[in-house]
Chains A and B, each alone.
Chain A
Amino acid sequence: MELIGLINYWIVIVLMMTGFYIVIAHDNLVKKIVGLNIFQVSVFVFYITMAKVKGGTAPILAEGITTYSNPLPHVLILTAIVVGVATTALGLALVVRIRDAYGTIEDDDFENQDGEP
C-alpha cells in the first residue's frame, strides 16, 4: 500500500533519466537541448508533486476552505519555467552561432574540425 504513494516519484525518475540519456547519448545539439528540457520538466513535476496535499485545493484563499496545497513550490517552479525558456533561448542561440561557424550541429563533427589545422 505504501509503495503506491511513491509511483509519482518513480515516473519523475523515469522522465529524468530519459532526459539524461538524450543529453549524454545524442550528438545533435538541438536534441541535447530537448533532453535538457525534459529533465527540467521532470524536476518541475517532482516539486509540484511534493506540494500536493490530499484533499487540498489550489492556494487561493476563499471562504469555507481549510486545506490548501503548499504554495511555496508553486512559486519556485512558476519562476523556474520562465527562466527555463530564457536559458533555452540562450542555448538555441549558441546552436545557431555554432552552425554558422562550423556548418554542422553534430557534436563530434565540429570537434573533428577543431582538430584540423
Chain B
Amino acid sequence: MGFMAVIGFAVARLRNLFAVVMLTGLFSLTAAVLYVILDAVDVAFTEAAVGAGISTVLMLGTLALTSSEERVEKSGGSKWALVLVVVTGCVLVYGTLDMPPFGDPTAAIHHHVAPYYLEKSGQEIGLPNVVTSVLASYRGYDTLGEVFVIFTAAIGVLLIIGRPQFGRRRSHRMLVGELHESMRTNVILRVGSKLLIPVILLFALYVQWHGDFGPGGGFQAGVIFASGFILYALIFDIDTARTMIPARTTRLFLVFGVLLYTGVGVAGLFLGGNFLDYSVLAANPVSGQHLGILLVEFGVGLTVAAAMISIFFTFAHQEH
C-alpha cells in the first residue's frame, strides 16, 4: 500500500501525461495484488483486466488525439488547494479513530446481511462462489442498474464522438496510426499476438461459464473478451478488426445483453414470481437459480464486451 501512495504522488508531480498514464496502469495492477491479499479474488480479477488493460488503452488513445504534455501553470491557486486537501485529510483521519480495527470479525459490517449470504446461499442457490450468488441473485436489481449505466455510457461515447463529420479538424496523430509501421513489420508481435488471441478469447469464455464455481463472471469475461479484439486491432489493423466485428454487430450485442437480463426478470414475472426471482424458472428452485444466474451473467458479459469494443473503436476511429 505504501507503494501505491508513492505512485500516487508521482502521478501528481509528473507533467508528461504519457508517463502518468503508464503509472496509472501500474497503480491498478498494484491495487489488484492488494485485493488478492485481502481475499477479494473476483475484484482483483476485474481490476487487473480493466485498470491495467482497457482504461490504459483508452487513456493512450485520448492522449494521441490531444496532447501528451501538460502545460506548467503558475502555482497561484494550488497552495490553497494543498491546504484544503490537508485539512480534509485531517478531518477524515479523525473520523477513522472510531472505525473498527483492520480484520476485526466483530465489526458491524460483518453482522448485517453478510452472514445470511454466507450460510444460506449454499442451500438456496447451490453455487460455491458467494460473490456470484449475491451479484446475480440476491442483489440482482443493483447489477441490472449497473449494466444499464455501462450501456448508457457506451451510448454516450458513441453520441459524443461517434460521428466523424462533427468535428472541424481531426488530429491525425492517432496512437494506432503512429505505431502501425513498426508493429506490422514486427514478427514477434504478430506471431505472439496470433498465438495469444485465441487463448484470450477461450479464457474469457471459461471465466464467463465457470464464474459460478470459481472467481469470474460476466463483468470480467466481457472485459477480457473485449481486450482480445482490442489487441488484434492494435497490432494489425483497425479496419480489418472492424470488418471482423462490425459496428452493427457490437451495437446489437450491446442492446441484446441488457434485454436478456431484463427478459430473464420479466420471465420470472410471467411464471408467477417476482421480478428477477429465478426460483420459478425451473421446476426445482435451485436449478431455476442456476439457470437464471447463468443467463443473467451471459447478458452482463455480452453488454460489457460490446460496450468496451465499441468504445475502443469509437476512440480509434477518430483518425479517419
A positions within 8 Å CB-CB of B: 2, 4-11, 13-22, 24-28, 30-31, 33-35, 37-38, 41, 44-45, 48-62, 67-90, 92-97, 99-101, 105-106, 108
Residue from A50, A67, A81, A86 within 8 A of B107 (CB atoms): A50
Residue from B5, B99, B168 within 8 A of A11 (CB atoms): B5
Whether A25 contacts B77 by the Cβ 8 Å rule is yes
**Residues of B contacting A26 with CB < 8 Å?**
70, 73
A-B contact pairs, 6 of them (CB 8 A): A59-B118, A60-B130, A69-B38, A89-B55, A99-B171, A101-B167
Contact count band on B: 35 or more
Residue from A8, A25, A68, A85 within 8 A of B78 (CB atoms): A25
B59-67, B197-205, B238-246, B277-285: which lies at the interface: B59-67
Whether B43 contacts A44 by the Cβ 8 Å rule is yes
**Residues of A contacting B110 with CB < 8 Å?**
53, 70
**Residues of A contacting B20 with CB < 8 Å?**
30-31, 34
Whether A48 contacts B35 by the Cβ 8 Å rule is yes
B268-320 CB contacts (< 8 Å) to partner A = 304, 307-308, 311, 314-315, 318
**Residues of A contacting B38 with CB < 8 Å?**
48-49, 51-52, 69
Chain A residue nearest to B147 (CB atoms) is A79
Whether A96 contacts B318 by the Cβ 8 Å rule is yes
Alpha-carbon separation in the docked complex, A95 to B67 (Å): 11
Residue from A6, A45, A61, A94 within 8 A of B128 (CB atoms): A61
**Residues of A contacting B214 with CB < 8 Å?**
60
A102 to chain B, nearest CB (A): 11
In the assembled complex, B58 has its CB within 8 A of some CB on chain A: yes
B13-36 CB contacts (< 8 Å) to partner A = 17, 20-21, 24, 27-28, 31, 34-35
A56 to chain B, nearest CB (A): 6
B130-149 CB contacts (< 8 Å) to partner A = 130-131, 134-135, 139, 142-143, 146, 149
B positions within 8 Å CB-CB of A: 1-2, 4-5, 8-9, 11-12, 17, 20-21, 24, 27-28, 31, 34-35, 38-43, 46-47, 50-51, 54-55, 58-59, 61-63, 65-67, 70-71, 73, 77-78, 81-82, 84-86, 88-89, 92-93, 96-97, 99-105, 107, 109-110, 113-114, 117-118, 121-122, 128-131, 134-135, 139, 142-143, 146, 149-150, 153-154, 156-157, 160-161, 166-171, 213-215, 217, 219, 222-223, 304, 307-308, 311, 314-315, 318
**Residues of B contacting A8 with CB < 8 Å?**
1, 102
B57 to chain A, nearest CB (A): 10
Alpha-carbon separation in the docked complex, A28 to B78 (Å): 13
Contact A77 to B40, CB < 8 A, known contacts A28-B70, A53-B110: yes
B135 to chain A, nearest CB (A): 5
6 further A-B contacts with Cβ under 8 Å, apart from A24-B85, A30-B62, are A11-B5, A14-B89, A44-B43, A61-B118, A93-B157, A93-B314
* Leading 8 A-B pairs by shortest Cβ distance: A5-B101, A54-B103, A86-B153, A100-B167, A69-B39, A25-B81, A18-B8, A25-B78
Whether A85 contacts B59 by the Cβ 8 Å rule is no
Whether A90 contacts B40 by the Cβ 8 Å rule is no
Alpha-carbon separation in the docked complex, A45 to B4 (Å): 11
B54 to chain A, nearest CB (A): 6
Residue from A21, A27, A61 within 8 A of B82 (CB atoms): A21
Chain B residue nearest to A8 (CB atoms) is B102
A11 to chain B, nearest CB (A): 5
Alpha-carbon separation in the docked complex, A22 to B9 (Å): 10
Whether B154 contacts A86 by the Cβ 8 Å rule is yes
Residue among A15, A31, A49, A89 with the highest chain B CB neighbour number at 10 A: A89
Whether A99 contacts B65 by the Cβ 8 Å rule is yes
Alpha-carbon separation in the docked complex, A11 to B3 (Å): 10
Residue from A22, A48, A62, A88 within 8 A of B55 (CB atoms): A88
Alpha-carbon separation in the docked complex, A37 to B12 (Å): 12
